[in-house]
Structure 1
Amino acid sequence: MAKINPYTLQMQVTRMFQDGQGFFATMKVQDWLRERNEDPATYDIIFHQKPAPPGSKEVISIEIELRRKDGKPVDSWLQEQVNHHA
């Protein structure tokens, strides 16, 4: 049975950047891809820092972009899920 995490990947990555641990965010996304039977070596992982949405307790928000290294488009479902908000 898969473990359930109450925090989305996007929330975890944002927290890592806020805590000065952004270096580990790439590994977190790679683990997330492995859990979905995707090969992390297939993707470039890019992080975009944006202001947090109005009303949020956070100051910044990190958006995760996946790019396939072979130039093919990333599955839209996968890209949507990587940035899924609670």
Structure 2
Amino acid sequence: VRVISMTPICPHTLSNRSVVFPADANLEIRCPEAAARPYLSLDGRPHAQGQTLFPLQITLAEETFLLLQPRHVSYFSVLRTKLKWGK
């Protein structure tokens, strides 16, 4: 599925969910306060800090990848184990 998915990392409430945009969307992130010191982290790694980052343009990458999952592994059983559901 060709989409852009924006997912909050370590949200503080259970109501925070991924937001899915069409593949042709052009997203822009702005930091309206000139005195703010925004911090950008990509894939959990420090990337940059400061107003010079903004506005930040987000578009779909041209490269794709194939995501494989073993047949004997169930997404929900892994989730149940990691979240210790039923214990």
TM-score (norm 2): 0.25
- Higher relative CO (Cα under 8 Å, sequence separation at least 6) belongs to 1
**Higher-strand-fraction structure:** 2
**Higher-helix-fraction structure:** 1
Structure number with larger C-alpha Rg:
2
